[in-house]
Chains A and B, each alone.
Chain A
Amino acid sequence: EDQVTQSPEALRLQEGESSSLNCSYTVSGLRGLFWYRQDPGKGPEFLFTLYSAGEEKEKERLKATLTKKESFLHITAPKPEDSATYLCAVGDSGAGSYQLTFGKGTKLSVIP
């Protein structure tokens, strides 16, 4: 059974204080690892897809990295508008190719 565990559950940062969110996963064969951002009362917004260990992707203050067992979402010099819940999901080549397994998310609060 695919498993996705995100840590920490919640993170409070001062504006400008860099940190990382963790997503550890167990799948039989990774089709892709996905990061989403979710604002309160909204649907998840796609950020990144990573496909193989060593891959990195960046967007503004966010950088996602991938190893064989986990992914990190690094946030550099965050701003209050980065406050949101960040979701991680994996696609498993051994399961139905259209199914993603989601973690419970990390709620990030950036304090001015």
Chain B
Amino acid sequence: NAGVTQTPKFQVLKTGQSMTLQCAQDMNHNSMYWYRQDPGMGLRLIYYSASEGTTDKGEVPNGYNVSRLNKREFSLRLESAAPSQTSVYFCASSSPGTDTQYFGPGTRLTVL
């Protein structure tokens, strides 16, 4: 059981470049989430998917898009990266009937 996996672990982009962060879970969870974590800030929700086929905006969605590819996979796309998107990105998932979220190892993104 791998839990929640994320790729890549590290990424450096130039301003204006695009990229997709991948997330997969093998716990048969319905809900999946993308967060960003910045120094001095708590984890902030970017987007979430309550179930396959649905996505909703969180607290800080601007500059991001998401795709719930199937029940296992939830990707986060930066169409035109900006230095303000330099952060550590975490994916999480939770099972129905509980709000407990389980996190992946994170992707450390630097935008120059």
Contacts and interface: CB of A to CB of B under 8 A. Distances in A.
Given A44-B90, A98-B50, A99-B48, A34 B42 contact: no
A36 B33 CA distance: 16
Contact of A100 (B4, B50, B56, B101): B101
B42 A98 contact: no
A112 interface: no
A103 B43 CA distance: 8
Interface in B64-112: 90, 94, 98-106
A96 B43 CA distance: 16
B2 interface: no
B7 to A, nearest CB: 14
Interface residues of B, number: 24
A25 to B, nearest CB: 12
B99 to A, nearest CB: 4
**Chain A interface residue bracket vs B:** 20 to 34
A21 interface: no
Contacts of B40: 104
Contact of A43 (B41, B42, B98, B103): B103
Contacts of B100: 32, 34, 46, 49
B90 to A, nearest CB: 5
A6 to B, nearest CB: 9
Interface string A71-106: 000000000000000010101000011111111110
Interface of A: 4, 31-32, 34, 36, 41-46, 49, 87, 89, 91, 96-105
Interface of B: 4, 31, 33, 40-45, 48, 50, 56, 58, 90, 94, 98-106
